[in-house]
A and B are shown apart, each in its own frame.
Chain A
């Protein structure tokens, strides 16, 4: 034996260790993969040896390989072996490997529970520490549930080293096993005042993480944190607390008021920039939460802005970045104070650091005014030219458009300028944002009637020079602009100077290389242009020119008829035939222009994005009713008319290729017609309604005087600058004028503009020309809604638990109790029960691995050995430790008096009210779920919305008065609570967490009445609710209480209850009964009566959740007849349902 050990250690000397592996990899740079694969083979050999040192070495190497991206999950079992070594060195290697590669899907994790428990209770603090560290990385819901109690015990360990680790890991436990939060919280709270600063910091850390997600549950801790904040000197803790307050203040404005002073003091006193920054951040949050009408807080804002300016001016880029970040938060509520630092922010735009430039861009958004918009955009345009990376340039582009278009083009005074900016932006190479520019062009041209003439001229130039945009294949994104250009030229063709030229430009052969949807727009708008040209020429009695135009179309359109794109093809062939027909008419000297233009009559108005959805359904219209008789086939089809209705957007009429059969099409058309008839906002196509060009609505549009001396027609020349100059001149002129006629007030001309909230002297700047922004149409009373839902999969949602409610009986962490059969045969049983698939899987895997060139018989013998070994380890792992019973005893000490929490809530109010509160204390509109509000006990602060109203700060009398009142209220609430409590008994309650509060501490009677019944099954005759309870006497059994309630008006009898047993849980049947016999329910149910029956199940393993299928058969007997009925159900045994109710000891 001794020889063996010596031999083993000598062997080990020549094994490759981690250093050798690393060195080897570095020496095999050319064939690294090959070298590593040989190393992995060696490691596999090493893992097969018995020597734990060799195994640990192998696992250590695997950890390194994992970092390089190799999957090592095949060695998971070996890792568990190494973890269970008694030597700290190896244990640590094992836990490290586990923390790097175990996750919830790792199947061997379930084997580790006992090992980890053993390590947690190890006398050596580093064993415990290593286990906690490892566990924090791979904790699963099962592990969390099984170990929660052990970890909670460790929170009161004598060594602070263990305490702080235990406190930290609790966060992970809460995440995986939310039920543990309430039982563990009192102790966690205690740790906030731990003598050791490390433990304290850990507790702050955990609570901050928790509170960040569900702040309202932690409001009651505010006084405690406040105390910590004013006493702690640990910056790390301070930062966390201050961050936490930032999350709490939006919920409780009174808290904010209390915070301002100490935070301002900290800002003045601290030298640590990190702390200063967080203080400023929280002050900003406070200021945001207080409604703006507080003059005395302008000082705080000034302080913040001042400090931020110092940060931004600092040479340290990090501070600069953070300063800008915080500045953007202030911007939202106090734009004026930020605007005064415009110079600084513009300066940051020139910074060499992209992150800083981006932050500065964000800020610019809020800094623009009518006055400086042009100037700022000019600066940005310069940056666009200079920018090297496409991402930054694209960012600039979107920012320019954002800034200009914000709040309905509020700051644009000269739309000619804006159009030319957009045109300039089209020169950007390789931008992805072509469609963004295009939609802006469309939007402006449609909504600003006065600009149409100018816009059309510009677009015509664009079309003429389309080759500049499309010449390079890299510029793909930008050709989107041509879509807008073509549409604008076509739709507003009456403004075109030379429609013929544009028409020619749109029919160039090169157009065929554009994307399909753009070609389609080209073709369609060519037709519109054609109509315009005809009209023009008809007046001149020059039939020759008109015929030439027709010929042009007839010559060019066949190109599009051949297009592969269906939309293009269809439109082209339609129009081609039309033109051919027109040509015939022309040859007969028939006047056609009038009729051709009628084809495109009507004006499009912009419609708000959600307008159509908001159209109220007129009375008497049933959208779900069939319009035509439904075709018998599919049911889902009936949704379609609705969908068409919702999707309809006149602006984006891009081709949608849907394949629908003709019937369906016809049906839809019919449906659509009806919808349109009822829709007041749909522009009806009846030709008699409007003749476009002499319609009265158009005449009044003031046509903009375009100064054509500006070289508009030269493409690629920056011309927006000229507008800037012009603008300045104009303003100066205006100023001079104003001096002359000082007292004459100028009328505000922008008709439908929103009342602007821009900076001072905003009104002084009159728009360059009359601009009539057509606001988007919306149905009356409809508001654009913004309902965004929270992610339902957020793990933190489960942690939204009211922590102030007193702990209930049923709430405690599962403690391991020793089950009789486990004691009888310590491991064997459970190994056989829960592990067999496990070992099978593993050995299956091993088999595969071994197949690589191994003799068969050798393999078999080894296999057996392996299995044996597995079992040994299992036994070791599952060994039970008697010491634990003692430990769980300890936890009893930490019982919390149930009344303290409700007292605390009013304490919070009192604490908050002791700060000066303005009479108009804001009420919270806490959007807490209805259920939480009406069932929560007196503790939840937001359930007392009337309190802050009463708070009168100045006189002390009222505060005394208030105290009394609070007391009264408290009493009342407690009474209510009691009532409610009784009320809840025997009440089915399907709402998971809510049910826990029903059991309360007052009851100490043996076997308290069940409280949390869940719905089992229900039909029109009967309703069954059930509850599962552990059994004190016999711990291998659970009692399922089922309440049967007769819902019918017939008599229910001969009820038989049967459940399909599983390996793990069996229904206890009377002796002599077969395994599948059903149990007779020992009573009958008259109408409307309910009664309860108990069924006993024997359970093998409590760690396996189960679902048992069952049926209830019964006879329904009414006066006339009796029928046999059946109801299927699923009985759900969760692991928590095995908990045994014992008196609360927390």
Chain B
């Protein structure tokens, strides 16, 4: 079982948090902080497994994480999951995000956290892995996106226009746009599929 999936940036700001067991908001924040603390002080090029996330679960659990550019992707899993399998799953998640957002960067995750949730929902459901095949995931996500668009229809058009204008007007957008792409290529791991 996957107990939680966390995405936060190099400063520990949460970009997505998905807990498959209930915690109060305070505990969730504490878990994120603690996880960030554990993960951030580790060098690059050391192993991606960490034992003893103290807050979630207990000794059976492991943190499996990957660090891409500015973001940490952390999965908290118990012993029924294969460590290397989860690493591959993280890779699949990132690659899928990359496809869906077209060169994903941290900003995409910041502004479209709902969309990230929807993508994740096609991969992991209630803590169990639902789909690992990237093209299948993308097909489903895109089909749902189409449905959304067709529902918005004409009434959605003005809102879209306005939000486009808003985006254009905002001075910070171009400022941040080069925050860094997520480097997708990760060496040393034979592909899973």
Q: Which of A17, A88, A209 contacts B80 (CB 8 A)?
A: A209
Does the CB pair A198–B162 fall under 8 Å? no
Does A985 sit at the interface, judged by CB under 8 A? no
Contacts of B102 in A (CB 8 A): none
Does the CB pair B84–A273 fall under 8 Å? yes
Known: A13-B158, A13-B159, A272-B190. A243 touches B125 (CB 8 A): no
Q: Give the complex CA separation of A236 and B86 in angstroms.
A: 10
CB distance from A257 to the nearest CB of B (A): 24
CB distance from B18 to the nearest CB of A (A): 8
Q: Which of A161, A212, A315 contacts B188 (CB 8 A)?
A: A315
Instruction: Flag A47-78 by CB within 8 Å of B: 1 or 0 each.
Output: 00000000000001001101111110000000
Count contacts on A: residues with CB < 8 A to the other chain.
78
CB distance from A362 to the nearest CB of B (A): 11
Q: Give the complex CA separation of A14 and B190 in angstroms.
A: 49
Does A182 sit at the interface, judged by CB under 8 A? no
Does B144 sit at the interface, judged by CB under 8 A? yes
Does B121 sit at the interface, judged by CB under 8 A? yes
Q: Give the complex CA separation of A171 and B190 in angstroms.
A: 31
Binding site of A, secondary structure by majority: helix, strand, loop or mixed? Answer: helix
Does A205 sit at the interface, judged by CB under 8 A? yes
Does the CB pair B188–A352 fall under 8 Å? no
B 36-72 contacts with A by CB, 8 A: 43, 45-51
Does the CB pair B125–A274 fall under 8 Å? no
Q: Give the complex CA separation of A1025 and B169 in angstroms.
A: 76
Does the CB pair B47–A64 fall under 8 Å? no
Does A658 sit at the interface, judged by CB under 8 A? no
Q: Give the complex CA separation of A198 and B140 in angstroms.
A: 13
Q: Give the complex CA separation of A610 and B127 in angstroms.
A: 43
Known: A20-B166, A22-B111, A209-B80. A355 touches B126 (CB 8 A): no
Segment of A132-140, A458-466, A482-490 engaged in the interface with chain B: A132-140
Closest B-chain residue to A15, C-beta based? Answer: B159
Contacts of A96 in B (CB 8 A): 114, 117-118, 121
Contacts of B113 in A (CB 8 A): 18, 63-64, 67
Known: A66-B25, A126-B143, A205-B128. A9 touches B80 (CB 8 A): no
Q: Give the complex CA separation of A669 and B154 in angstroms.
A: 91
Segment of A317-325, A433-441, A535-543, A871-879 engaged in the interface with chain B: A317-325
Closest A-chain residue to B133, C-beta based? Answer: A198
Q: Give the complex CA separation of A212 and B1 in angstroms.
A: 11
Q: Give the complex CA separation of A320 and B47 in angstroms.
A: 8
Closest A-chain residue to B28, C-beta based? Answer: A69
Closest B-chain residue to A198, C-beta based? Answer: B131
A 104-145 contacts with B by CB, 8 A: 104, 124, 126, 129-130, 132-133, 136-137, 139
Closest B-chain residue to A281, C-beta based? Answer: B82
Q: Give the complex CA separation of A14 and B158 in angstroms.
A: 10
Known: A22-B110, A67-B113, A209-B80. A104 touches B159 (CB 8 A): no
Does the CB pair A317–B25 fall under 8 Å? no
Does B16 sit at the interface, judged by CB under 8 A? yes
Q: Which of B111, B132, B159 contacts A18 (CB 8 A)?
A: B111
Q: Give the complex CA separation of A225 and B126 in angstroms.
A: 24
Contacts of A104 in B (CB 8 A): 22
Does A962 sit at the interface, judged by CB under 8 A? no
Does B192 sit at the interface, judged by CB under 8 A? yes
CB distance from B170 to the nearest CB of A (A): 6
A 262-289 contacts with B by CB, 8 A: 271-274, 277-278
Contacts of B147 in A (CB 8 A): 88-89, 124, 126
Does the CB pair B82–A169 fall under 8 Å? no
Does the CB pair A317–B47 fall under 8 Å? yes
Does A164 sit at the interface, judged by CB under 8 A? yes
Contacts of B127 in A (CB 8 A): 136
Does B168 sit at the interface, judged by CB under 8 A? no
Does the CB pair A17–B163 fall under 8 Å? yes
Q: Give the complex CA separation of A124 and B147 in angstroms.
A: 10
Known: A67-B14, A171-B126. A18 touches B83 (CB 8 A): no
Does the CB pair B172–A26 fall under 8 Å? yes
Does A356 sit at the interface, judged by CB under 8 A? yes
Does the CB pair A272–B192 fall under 8 Å? yes
B 113-156 contacts with A by CB, 8 A: 113-114, 117-118, 121, 125-133, 136, 140, 143-144, 147-148, 151-152, 155
Does the CB pair B25–A69 fall under 8 Å? yes
Total A-B residue contacts, Cβ distance less than 8 Å: 177
Does the CB pair A68–B47 fall under 8 Å? no
Does the CB pair A19–B111 fall under 8 Å? yes
Does the CB pair B151–A87 fall under 8 Å? yes
Q: Give the complex CA separation of A248 and B88 in angstroms.
A: 26
Contacts of A205 in B (CB 8 A): 128-129
Taking residues whose C-beta sits less than 8 angstroms from the other chain, chain B's interface range is: 35 or more
Q: Which of B22, B50, B82, B121 contacts A243 (CB 8 A)?
A: B82
Does B193 sit at the interface, judged by CB under 8 A? yes
Contacts of A271 in B (CB 8 A): 190
Contacts of A243 in B (CB 8 A): 80, 82
A 346-373 contacts with B by CB, 8 A: 352-356
Q: Give the complex CA separation of A161 and B143 in angstroms.
A: 12
CB distance from A609 to the nearest CB of B (A): 24
CB distance from A1 to the nearest CB of B (A): 14
Q: Give the complex CA separation of A171 and B20 in angstroms.
A: 13
Contacts of B162 in A (CB 8 A): 13-14
B 149-193 contacts with A by CB, 8 A: 151-152, 155, 158-159, 162-163, 166-167, 170, 172, 188-193
Does the CB pair A235–B117 fall under 8 Å? no
CB distance from B89 to the nearest CB of A (A): 9
Does the CB pair B125–A133 fall under 8 Å? yes
CB distance from A166 to the nearest CB of B (A): 10
Contacts of A69 in B (CB 8 A): 25-26, 28-29
CB distance from B171 to the nearest CB of A (A): 10
Known: A19-B163, A68-B14. A136 touches B151 (CB 8 A): no
CB distance from B25 to the nearest CB of A (A): 5
Closest A-chain residue to B27, C-beta based? Answer: A69
CB distance from A365 to the nearest CB of B (A): 17
Does the CB pair A318–B87 fall under 8 Å? yes
Contacts of B28 in A (CB 8 A): 69
Q: Give the complex CA separation of A132 and B143 in angstroms.
A: 17
Does B17 sit at the interface, judged by CB under 8 A? yes
Q: Which of B26, B83, B132, B148 contacts A88 (CB 8 A)?
A: B148
Does the CB pair B85–A236 fall under 8 Å? yes
Contacts of A5 in B (CB 8 A): 155
Does the CB pair A236–B125 fall under 8 Å? no
Does the CB pair B25–A70 fall under 8 Å? yes
Does A208 sit at the interface, judged by CB under 8 A? yes
Q: Give the complex CA separation of A82 and B84 in angstroms.
A: 39
CB distance from A63 to the nearest CB of B (A): 7
Does the CB pair A169–B125 fall under 8 Å? yes
Known: A10-B158, A88-B148, A355-B46. A171 touches B133 (CB 8 A): no
Contacts of A979 in B (CB 8 A): none
Does A12 sit at the interface, judged by CB under 8 A? yes
CB distance from B49 to the nearest CB of A (A): 6
**What would 27 A/B residue contacts be, using CB atoms closer than 8 Å?**
A9-B158, A9-B159, A19-B166, A23-B172, A70-B25, A92-B118, A103-B22, A126-B144, A130-B121, A133-B126, A136-B126, A165-B130, A168-B125, A169-B126, A212-B80, A272-B190, A273-B190, A274-B82, A274-B87, A277-B83, A316-B189, A317-B46, A317-B48, A318-B49, A318-B84, A322-B84, A355-B49
Given contacts A88-B144, A169-B125, 14 further A-B contacts (CB under 8 A): A13-B158, A18-B111, A23-B172, A64-B114, A69-B29, A71-B25, A93-B114, A129-B140, A165-B125, A168-B126, A171-B126, A239-B85, A315-B188, A355-B46
Interface residues of B (CB under 8 A from A): 1, 14, 16-18, 20, 22, 24-26, 28-29, 43, 45-51, 80, 82-85, 87-88, 110-114, 117-118, 121, 125-133, 136, 140, 143-144, 147-148, 151-152, 155, 158-159, 162-163, 166-167, 170, 172, 188-193
Lowest 10 A-B CB distances belong to which pairs?
Answer: A136-B126, A274-B84, A103-B22, A353-B46, A317-B47, A69-B29, A321-B47, A13-B162, A316-B188, A133-B121
